[in-house]
Amino acid sequence: MGKVLIVDDNIDILTVVQLILSFHGFAVKGISKWEEIFDEVENFKPDVILLDIALSGNDGRLLCQEIKSTRSGKNKPIIILFSAHHNLQNNYGQYMADDFISKPFDSNVLVNKLRYHSSAIN
């Protein structure tokens, strides 16, 4: 199964998502500080990045664009997690995201999307 980097500053959500994905066979790395994302993309080399949109001190949409503009991140599928952004489902592509999942999310939807995106690059 693929490697997933999760970036969410809500520790409870981060922990739950890590448990769900580990149970389903993904290799998972979770970080709560957006400042670590570029190092983790380089070092952990995830197949897919699961990125919260509302991060303390930054906007996940802008981070998505920054990651996609790097050599190590340009071909990485990024799935944006969001809760209070109703219209994101219509324009997530303009931020170079490959997909989105709204919170609260169904764990089966999450797992299936991650399987799809991780298998698409392997």
- List CB contacts of 23: < 8 A, sequence separation 6 or more: none
* pTM (predicted TM-score): 0.90
- In tens, the pLDDT along 25-61 reads 999 999 999 999 999 999 999 999 999 988 999 988 8
Kindly list the structural domains of the chain, giving each domain's residue range(s) and its CATH number in brackets, ordered by start. 3-121 (3.40.50.2300)
Could you check whether the bond before residue 104 is cis, i.e. omega within 30 degrees of 0? yes
Query: And the tokens for 89?
Result: 């489902």
Q: How far apart are CA 96 and CA 44, in angstroms?
A: 21
- In tens, the pLDDT along 53-109 reads 889 999 888 999 999 999 988 899 999 887 655 555 556 666 788 888 888 889 999
